[in-house]
Copies of this chain bind each other. A is one copy, B any other.
Amino acid sequence: MKKIAVVGGDLRLAKVAEYLAEDGYVVKIYGSNAPFSGGVKVHITQTLRDCLHDAHVIVLGLPATCDDETVSTPNFDQPIYIRDILRYMPKDALLLAGRISEKLHGEMIMHGIRCVDYFQREELTVRNSIPTAEGALQIAMEELPITLHGSRSLVLGFGRIGKVLAKMLHGIGSDVTCSARKHYDKAWIHCMGYHAIDTADILPVIDQFDVIFNTIPVKILSSEVLSRVRRDSLVVDLASKPGGVDFDAAKERGLNVIWALSLPGKVAPATAGEIIKETIVNIMNEIL
């Protein structure tokens, strides 16, 4: 059975280690004092060298590193250097890491290291839309004085997050409208049983919605559009930087806007860990 070294990382990576051990892999851990459930046998090593020396696969966190020099170790108080990993790991081991920079990836290749960024995998991206959407629901439930059931909700953008979010909102009883630009997507919105609207046409109807979720990384919710949003409506922006809301205009108007980023790790770290684990298993099955 494959030996896997898990180095650093947050609670999600601790879950990855446990789930891999449950699947039967031999799992060594270094650089994490996250709480592990007793039932699963993961081996916590005393030194990095001990963790790495016989590993077939090395797994780093998400992100793997913030400075391209040290491994992300939010649950560990000593630095772990990337160069030490390169020094101690077997030359033919596979390195799996999340969100690695192009620069670091280039260095790995120069060292002859096989390295895959699991955060780039489509199945991870797709499945992460579940904790993202559920986290968005949680925020809306916490912020709104009304129930989502019976509310009128608008989802801007019908990509992977928009699709899952619309499904959950519908499932809980909200009256869902989705916006898109392409005829193709609007036809899909119609097929799924939601109201379809062209993203260009939201201005005159934006005041009908109790909650507005944005998934488009473009300033859709401009000052002009925000001027029509009801003051008792909630805006949840799920778009990555630079976001889709003119935050200054929203603040000026006194709107309740939540910019919610990186929800999977925050609202459902165990599920996020499971998704990373399954992606890692897919990668190992394809490469090893």
| B173 lies within 8 A of A129 (CB) | no
Contacts of A188 in B (CB 8 A): 126
A108 touches B (CB below 8 Å): no
| B282 lies within 8 A of A183 (CB) | yes
| A191: min CB distance to chain B, Å | 6
Count the A residues whose beta carbon is within 8 Å of the partner chain — how many?
Answer: 49
Within 8 A of B (CB), among A184-216: 184, 186-188, 190-193
CA distance A183 to B121 in the complex (A): 9
Which of A57-65, A136-144, A219-227 faces chain B?
A136-144
Within 8 A of B (CB), among A24-76: 37
Interface centre among A149, A164, A190 (most CB of B within 10 A): A149
Give the residue name and chain of the B residue nearest to A127 (CB). B187
| A195: min CB distance to chain B, Å | 11
Give the residue name and chain of the B residue nearest to A192 (CB). B167
Which of A94-102, A244-252, A264-272 faces chain B?
A264-272
Contacts of A138 in B (CB 8 A): 138, 141-142
| A88: min CB distance to chain B, Å | 31
| B134 lies within 8 A of A148 (CB) | yes
Interface residue from B127, B191, B282 paired with A190 (Cβ < 8 Å): B127
Q: Mark A117-136, 1 if CB is under 8 A from B, else 0.
A: 00001111011011100110
| B141 lies within 8 A of A134 (CB) | yes
| B171 lies within 8 A of A191 (CB) | no
CA distance A228 to B133 in the complex (A): 32
Within 8 A of B (CB), among A138-169: 138, 141-142, 144-150, 163-164, 167-168
Given that A122-B184, A187-B122 are contacting pairs, would A270 and B129 also be in contact in the complex, using a CB cutoff of 8 Å?
no
A277 touches B (CB below 8 Å): no
| B171 lies within 8 A of A123 (CB) | no
| A90: min CB distance to chain B, Å | 27
CA distance A171 to B134 in the complex (A): 12
| A146 lies within 8 A of B183 (CB) | no
CA distance A285 to B141 in the complex (A): 33
